[in-house]
Chain A
Amino acid sequence: MEGGTPPALLDLRAVASGYAVPLALLFAIALFSVLRPDTFFTADNFRTILVTQSVLIVLALGVTVALAAGEFDLSIAALLGFSASLVAFLTSTHGWSPALALLVSLGVALAVGVTNGVFVVVFGVNSFITTLGTGTFVTGLATAIVGATTIGGVPAAVTRPMREELLSLDLPVFYALALALVLWFLFEHTPTGRFLFFTGEGREAARLAGVRVDRMRFGALVTSAVFAWFAGLILVGQTGAANTTYGVPFLLPAFAAGFLGATTIRAGRYNVWGTVMAVLLLAVGTTGLQLLGAAGWVSDVFNGAALVLAVTLARIAAREE
C-alpha cells in the first residue's frame, strides 16, 4: 500500500470500494458469530478455516501471478490433482522415497508450466484455450499412470510436514503465509512486479517501453504451475490420500479469489493480500452458511455467485474511472 495520496484517503467511496472485501469479511464473521456463537465463534472453527484454506490460498496465489501477467492458467486444478496423486502413487504404491517422489512431481509441474509457456508465448495461442487443453491432457495422463482410484496409505514423511502444529496452527498455514509474503515483496517492491503489472495491463505498450513481456508471461505460467504443485503436496499431506480429480473443486474458488482480490486493497490490480482476504471471505461465507444448516451445495452456489459478482464489481470500478 502506498501512503502518498491523502485525497484518496478522504474519499469515502474509494475507501469503501477499496476495502470492500476486508469489510465484508469482518461483517460476515460478526454476523455468523452472532447467529451461531457456539459453533462459528470458536477458536476451533477459525483454526479449521485457516488450515483447510491453505491449499486454496497457495493455488489462488499462483492464479494471481498468471492473471497479473494477463494470462489465464486453467491447468492448475489438474496439476494439483496430478501432483497429489503422483506423490501418493510413488510413495505408497511403489514405496519410493518421499524426496524422490517430490522431485519427480516437481519435474512434472515444471514440464506442464513450460509447455503452457511454449504454446502461449512462443506460438501465441490464447492461454485460456491452451491451459484448458493441457489441463484436460494432464488429468487424462495422470489417470493413465496412477489409476482412477483414490490412493491412501501415504507415508508419514509426506504427511507429517503438513500436520505438525506451530502455535496450535498446522504448518501449511505458515507455508501459505510465507509464500504470500514472498509474492507480496515481488509484486510491490521489485522491478519484476512492476513489469508484470505493465505486461498484464498493456502488453504491447509494455513491450515498447522496453519490458521483456514474453519473459514475464512465460515466467508467470511456470510460477502458477509450481504453486499448483505445492498446493497438491499440502493436500496429499493433509488428507493422507489422493485421487487425480482432487483438484477440480479448487479451480473456481481460486479464480474467484483472484478476481475478487483485484477489487480490494490495491483496487484495480491483482494483489496478494486481496487474494488472501478473498479466499478467507469465501471460506467464512460457506462455512457460516453450512453452520446455519445449509446443505453442502451451498459452497458451489456461493463461490459461483462470488466469481461473477467480483468480475462485475471490477468492471463497474473500471468504468467509473
Chain B
Amino acid sequence: MTSDGAPMLAARRLSKRFGSTRALDDVTLEVAPSEVHALLGQNGSGKSTLIKVLSGYHAPDEGAIDVRGRPLPLPPSADDARRLGISFVHQDLGLVDSLSVLDNLRVGRYETGLGGRIRWRDERRRARALLRDFELALDPDVRVGRLAQTEKAIVAIVRALQDLEQWAGGGLLVLDEPTASLPEDEVRRLFAAVEHAKERGSSVLFVTHRLDEVLAISDRVSVLRDGRLVATRPTSELDHASLVTLILGRELGELYPPVEHRPAATVLEVRGLAGSVVRDLSLALREGEVLGLTGLVGAGHDELPYLVSGARRAQAGEVVLRGRSLGLPSPAEAAAAGIGFLPGDRQRLAGIPRARVRENVTVAGLTRYRGRFGLDARRERRDAAATLERLQVHPRDPERRLAELSGGNQQKALLGRWLQVRPAVLLLDEPTHGVDVGSRQAIFGILEQAAEAGTSILYASAEYDDLAHLCDRVLVFHRGRVVRELSGAALTADAVAAACYHVPDAGGAPVDSADPG
C-alpha cells in the first residue's frame, strides 16, 4: 500500500482543449482520504470534462493524475479505474430497469461454484445485508424499475461502492449529479448513503448544482469557472452568497427591484399542474408575453412545456386557454385549441427528417388546405414558401428533405410550422440548442415578432443570457416549484443565475408558495 499521507486523488495541471475552447485550463485538484469533496461550476465550466477525463472518456492534453500516490494511466480504461479503486455513479445511474436489484448489483461479479453455477443463496444473503447497511429494506429480487428514484440512486451507489470493497482503506466514489432528478425530501436518504460510504473509509467527489446540498454534505468545495479552478475551500468557511460569487465570478449587488406587471389580458392559465418533478404549479401567461422558465438541471422548468402540451401525461392540473378549460389536453387537442409545442430534441421529437421541408412546415395546419379535389397542393406550396421566405430559411426550397438543412435552418422551419397557424400560445424547450450564432439571432427576431403579433410564448431554457434578452418575465424553478420571479430592470443574466443557485437572502420577489429555507 501507499504511504498514509498521500491524497486519495491528486490531479495535477490538467489541460484539455476542444478546438479553440479551453475546457480545462491548468487544473490542479486534490481529494483527501475520507473526504466528501464537492465540485461546482456553471454549465460549460469544465466540470463534466474533468469527470470525463477521470472516467477515461477524454484524454487530457497535459497533466497527470495520481490515485493514492500511484499514477493513473491516461486515459484510464475501466479496468485501470477498478484496479486503483475509482468508481462512478453518473446522472443516469446506469441501472437496468427490467432486471432485479440483485442482478444490477452483482452482474459480472457473481460468485460461482461447481461448474460455473451461480451461488444464488449466498448472493441473495449478501445483497440483503449490503442493502440493510444502507437502510434500504429491499427485496433483492424486486425489479429496479419498480423502485423510487431515490432508492435507485442508492442502489447505484451501493453497486459502485462494492467495487471499492477490496480497498481496506476505501476508494474514490465519483458522484456526477445523481440527485438532479430527486425531490428535496428524498435527498436526505441519499446523503445518509454518502455519509455511510465516507464512514467506510471512501472519499467522495460530488458534482452538483445544488448549493444547499453542498453546504449540507461536503467537507471541502472546489469551484471551476471557464475551465480554471478558481478556489478550493473548506465548506465551513462558505455560505450561499460566497458560493454564488465564486461560481459566477462576480459580486451580486441589489438585483431585485419589485416586479412590474404589464396590464394585458391573460391568455393561458395553468392550474395545479403536477408532473414527475413539477408540483402544484400555477401560472398565468398574458397576451404577447414571453415568459421564461428556468432553473438548474432537474428543477422542473423544462418539464412544463411537455406537461402543458400533453407530450407527457401530467398527474394533476388543468390548462385554461382564454377562459376555456382544456383539462389536460392531448397534443392534438392542444394544437387544435391553438397551443403549439416545439420540443427540445429536434432530431427525434420535432422534425420528420425524411419528409420534405414543406411537409414539415404545413403539418400543423394541413386540414386547412382541404380543397374540392383533396389537398390544394398549390396553396400549400405557396404558404410554405412564404413562411420559409419570412423566416429566412436557407435554402429556400420547400421540396428539400428536412435532413438536408443545417440545424439552425431546421429549427427556423419548425418554428414556422407553428407560426404559420398563428397559435395563441407557443411552448418552447431550448429552441436555440445546437443552433449556430446567426440562426440564434434570427430565432430571437422571429419570436419577438410573433409576440408582437399577439402570440404568447413559454420559453424553457437554461441559457441565462437568452432569457434576459428575450423574456418579459422569468420564473425560476427549484425542485419543481417556482421560487422567484424576475422582470423589468431586475431581469439580468446574473440575476437569473443567482436565483437559480438559490441565494436565500437575495431579496426581490420570492414567490409565496415556496420557502427557500
Contacts and interface: CB of A to CB of B under 8 A. Distances in A.
Given A191-B367, A321-B403, A208 B343 contact: yes
A268 B364 CA distance: 22
A194 B366 contact: yes
A212 interface: yes
Contact of A198 (B348, B352, B375): B352
A212 B332 CA distance: 6
Interface stretch (A91-99, A150-158, A169-177, A199-207): A199-207
Contacts of A190: 370, 374-375
Contact of B375 (A191, A206, A268): A191
A197 B401 CA distance: 14
A318 B332 CA distance: 29
B332 A194 contact: no
Contacts of B403: 321
B366 A205 contact: no
B350 A194 contact: no
A27 interface: no
B349 interface: yes
Interface residues of B, number: 33
Interface stretch (B81-89, B112-120, B333-341, B500-508): B333-341
Contact of A204 (B334, B336, B341, B348): B348
Q: In terms of DSSP, what is the predominant structure of the interface of chain A?
A: helix
A267 B101 CA distance: 47
Contacts of B311: 207-208
Contacts of A208: 309, 311, 331, 341, 343, 349-350
Interface string B261-304: 00000000000000000000000000000000000000000000
Given A4-B399, A191-B370, A205-B350, A211 B355 contact: no
B331 A205 contact: no
A207 B453 CA distance: 27
A209 interface: yes
B374 A189 contact: yes
Query: How many interface residues does chain A have, given as a range?
Result: 20 to 34
Contacts of A168: none
Contact of A194 (B354, B359, B399): B359
A315 B364 CA distance: 29
A122 to B, nearest CB: 14
Contacts of A201: 352, 354-355
Interface string A194-230: 1101100110111111111000000000000000000
A117 B225 CA distance: 55
B252 to A, nearest CB: 39
Nearest to B365: A210
Contact of A191 (B349, B366, B399): B366
Given A197-B355, A205-B349, A321-B401, A210 B331 contact: yes
Contacts of A209: 331, 335, 350, 363-364, 417
B351 interface: yes
Interface in B292-326: 309, 311
Contacts of B370: 190-191
Interface in B366-389: 366-367, 369-370, 373-375, 377, 381
A198 B377 CA distance: 17
B311 to A, nearest CB: 5
A209 B373 CA distance: 25
A204 to B, nearest CB: 6
B399 A205 contact: no
Given A4-B381, A189-B374, A321 B352 contact: no
A321 B334 contact: no
B332 A191 contact: no
Interface of B: 309, 311, 331-332, 334-336, 341, 343, 348-355, 359, 363-364, 366-367, 369-370, 373-375, 377, 381, 399, 401, 403, 417
Interface of A: 2, 4-5, 185, 188-191, 194-195, 197-198, 201-202, 204-212, 268, 318, 321
26 contacts: A2-B399, A5-B399, A188-B374, A189-B375, A189-B377, A190-B370, A190-B374, A191-B366, A191-B369, A191-B375, A194-B359, A194-B363, A195-B363, A197-B355, A198-B352, A198-B355, A202-B348, A202-B351, A205-B351, A205-B352, A206-B352, A207-B331, A207-B332, A209-B350, A210-B336, A210-B363
